Structure 1
Amino acid sequence: MSPPSQNATWLRRLPILVILLAALIGAISLRDDLSFQTLARHREDLLAFRDAHYLWAVLAFLAGYVLIVGLSLPGGTVATLTGGFLFGLFPGVLYNVLGAGTGAVLIFLAARSGFGETLSRKLEGAGGAAARLQARLRENEWSVLFLMRLVPLVPFFVANLIPAFVGTSLTRFAVSTFLGIIPGALVFTSVGAGLGEVFARGEAPDLGIIFTLPVLLPLLGLAALAALPMFLRAIKGAR
């Protein structure tokens, strides 16, 4: 029989291990089910259920979005489009941010409890380049956290794990996540809100819109604003 301390360690690691297993299974078996084509096939049923049971539709949507993000299943973008399609730009964007942010916090807590706290202590005690990198990240924590959310090059799942592994506090992670995902959520929710016309034409939505200049430039401007304290701190340190 394992010592109690070992049992407690495995219990702490169980949530993140379940998430990793679910992510692997979902990537293999659910990619075709959680897709834009599935949304297109069931759009009339979804609209009918929303019109007949609005509150239940909202709760079911939030639970599904949290489940998709919390277990790192494929379909996060489709979920955001669905929020816009069913509930419009507003309150659709509110539901999207709430669902995505809550799921991200759950991953963060699972990763921090399972491996993050141990890894963070090891990095601190190891010294050398790893400890210096961790110290630099903590010095510029707010800037780094917002940059990971604002710049669309960082995968959402990775942006949930890195803060857990370097010892970020729950408050800072939650604040930067819920605020940092708002600009991207606005873009994709607006695309979802216009899906009625896209469905009528038999087309697929243009998700590359986030990389067009009218959308990308404001995002890069927000990213530059988030990075400004980091650059000012670096200049001050150089002096």
Structure 2
Amino acid sequence: MSTPDTDDAEAPPATGTGPEAVARPPWRRWLRVLPLVALVLVSVALLASGVTHWFSLERLLASRAWALGVVEEDRLRAILVTALVYVGTVVVSVPVSVFMTMLCGFLFGTVTGALVAIASATTGAVIVFSIGRTAAGEVLLRHTGARLNRLAAGFRRDAFSYVLFLRLLPLFPFWMTNLGPAIFGVRLRTFALATLLGISPGGFIYAATGARIETVVAAHQEARSACLDAGDRDCDTALSLRAVITPELVATLLALGVLALAPVVVRKLRARG
């Protein structure tokens, strides 16, 4: 798979070696890292506060009548507020993207919900990427060894395929796939396009699951009843996202991820031949 940027050499963040950069005090360069440090601190504080407990299927189901009433009252406002919350969770790296995508599907239906989720997740990712590239890319690549720089150069050569692969697989933290390409100097448009395409399959799948949340609830209740009939004592397990992230879903996304890496494999085979 290719991208409009593939034929152009992707350059790492500016290293700032000109006369003006030489005259710049070292503390000015490190000052650029502060926005990223601030994001990390906010993220750690939110995680320590237990904010993720508010993003659970149990809470959604408990307040679903109220939530649907808000959407019915003013659908456009509900979409905007949900999108802003989604973007915010991505920017501060709170790991609730799957829940937020399902929430979008539940509130607005599969298609609209998926589009809102994909747009929001991409926007948040681009914000984090931009902060990371400005703040950390130059500093880290300047102060690390040749091995990391060679790895960064290799990543940039096939940046679109690599980012697409990382986005398709739900095995890596979202913040990692935002900051890694930023540090390696991937171009913004390559990152944004690969992110948009890479999260789209999962976006529609999770939004569709959210749109049929009542079916998920019924399946959960059926499993609980079967548990009780079997004589088990611990049958009150809360409904969680594990109930909707099935092995089949992971296998599908994994297959798409492998397909995304096909151009990289072909290029390496040709180079050896």
1:51 pairs, out of 65, 72, 85, with 72
Consecutive unaligned residues in structure 2, runs of 5 or more: 1-22, 222-238
Counterpart of 2:270, as a letter, is K
Q: What is the number of residues matched between the two proteins?
A: 233
Higher normalized helix content (fraction of residues): 1
Q: Quick one: which of 24, 30, 34 aligns to 2:44?
A: 24
Alignment check: 8 A CA contact 1:65 1:99 kept: yes
- Give the aligned residue type for 2:53: D
For residues 99-125 of structure 1, the C-alpha deviation after alignment (integer angstroms, 9 at most, x for no partner) is 1111111111111111113323445xx
1:13 positional shift? 2.4
Structure 1: stretches of 5+ with no match in the other structure? none
Q: CA deviation at 1:212?
A: 2.5
Q: What is the rounded CA distance, in whole Å, between the counterparts of 1:35 and 1:13 in structure 2?
A: 33
Counterpart mapping for 1:118-133 below 5 A: 118-123=139-144, 126-127=145-146, 129-133=147-151
Deviation at 1:206, TM superposition (A): 5.4
The percent of aligned pairs where both chains have the same amino acid is 32
Kindly tell me: are residues 87 and 160 of structure 1, through their superposed partners in 2, closer, same or farther at Cα, counting changes over 3 Å?
same
For 2:163, give the aligned amino acid. Answer: L
| Structure 1 residues 3-22: aligned runs within 5 Å | 5=25, 8-9=28-29, 11-22=31-42
**Pairing 1:138–2:156 present:** yes
Partner of 1:237: 271
Output aligned runs, 1:69-84, within 5 Å. 69-84=90-105
What is the CA RMSD across the aligned residues, in angstroms?
2.3
Question: 2:5: which partner in 1?
Answer: none
Asked if residue 180 in structure 1 is aligned to residue 214 in structure 2, the reply is: no
Alignment of 1:143-158 (within 5 A): 143-158=161-176
Conservation of the 8 A alpha-carbon contact between 1:150 and 1:219: yes
2:173 counterpart letter in structure 1 = P
- Alignment partner of 2:259 out of 225, 228, 231: 225
The two structures have a TM-score, normalised by structure 2, of: 0.77
